[in-house]
Amino acid sequence: MIEKLKYANISSIYTKELIFYDKAIEGDCISFCERNGITYLPDSNRKSCWKLESNTFRNVELSEVFTIAPTDLIFSQSTLQKFSDAGIDEVLFVVEDERVVAVVHVVDYNNPFIQFECFKTISQFERSIRKLLKEEGESNHSFLDWCRIQGEEHWQRIFSQFVPDKEKKRRRIEKNMADLSEFQMFNLSDLLSFGIAKEILPKQWGSVLNDGDKLHSISQLRNFIAHNKDFTNVEIREGSSPLFSIRGLQKFAKHFGDFVQCFEYVEDHVGLHPNNSLITRIVD
């Protein structure tokens, strides 16, 4: 499932509906560039481009700085560096067989395809984590027992929430848990920490609280998608060209890279427990 994102390339987000420079409507071309905060337009010959300077256009050759291949991976560091080298406000010309076939801009990362595929892979990851914990013999009760003996306030709060003192409330929660599959009432980040403590997941994944750790990346990625945030921020100011930022995109790419490693680790280990027979996996 994650392959769609891991190997997603520029052709997944580029724009093939090109606006070419046209001398006959140069005023409109200038307005288009100013409105979108760009300075380059492709020539209709698809082999050169026009640069807006001092309210007029001049023809220039396509530089490697402003070109990108349709097969370049969207989340690779080299691709993101392309946007930085060209200037965040500029389009990159997508070149294939020495012809401009499309253009791509950092705002094209705010694409429903990316959001949807991220949502699907995170959902799959959560299901796989719950399944792996179950295969290793863990349960709602073992998780709560573990929370009970932890010293930190966070875990004590979880235990008190799901095992309250009042019997009526406790029975209602127990019934709700029984109606769902194991671990479905608990947060992903808490289950990941539990899995590491139980040595089911690698301790190298670190902590949710430590910026730079894989668990932190997973938590940030999930929150990013859950709140439907744009990958690229744009500020529109009256009378000025748009200002673009890819800081959010760069952070997302880092979090996504960590998530891919964790996702593939879990997928490789689900179903490998000695007590997990083929019949059990099919039924589950």
What are the tens digits of pLDDT across the range 93-126? 999 999 999 999 988 988 889 989 999 999 999 9
* Cα gap 137→158, rounded to integer Å: 21
Dig out the tokens for 92 from the structure: 């990159």
For residues 133-148, one letter each, b for 16 or more C-beta atoms within 10 angstroms of the residue's C-beta and e for the rest, the string is: bbbbebebeebbebbe
What are the tens digits of pLDDT across the range 175-231? 999 999 999 999 999 999 999 999 999 999 999 888 889 999 999 899 888 888 777
* Cα gap 80→89, rounded to integer Å: 13
pLDDT of residue 278: 41
Dig out the tokens for 261 from the structure: 């490693």
What are the tens digits of pLDDT across the range 36-83? 888 999 999 999 999 999 999 999 999 899 999 999 999 999 999 998
Give the β-pairing of 48-53 and 40-42.
antiparallel
pLDDT at position 235 over 60 = no
* Cα gap 245→243, rounded to integer Å: 7
Closest by CA to 114, choosing from 14, 17, 8, 11, is 8
CA angle 15, 228, 86 (to 5 degrees): 40
| Residue labelled with tokens 């890819």 | 246
Torsion of CA 128, 134, 136, 139, to 10 degrees: 140
pLDDT of residue 282: 42
* Cα gap 151→155, rounded to integer Å: 7
Helix axes 247-269, 77-86, angle to 10 degrees: 170
Select the more confidently predicted residue: 172 or 226: 172
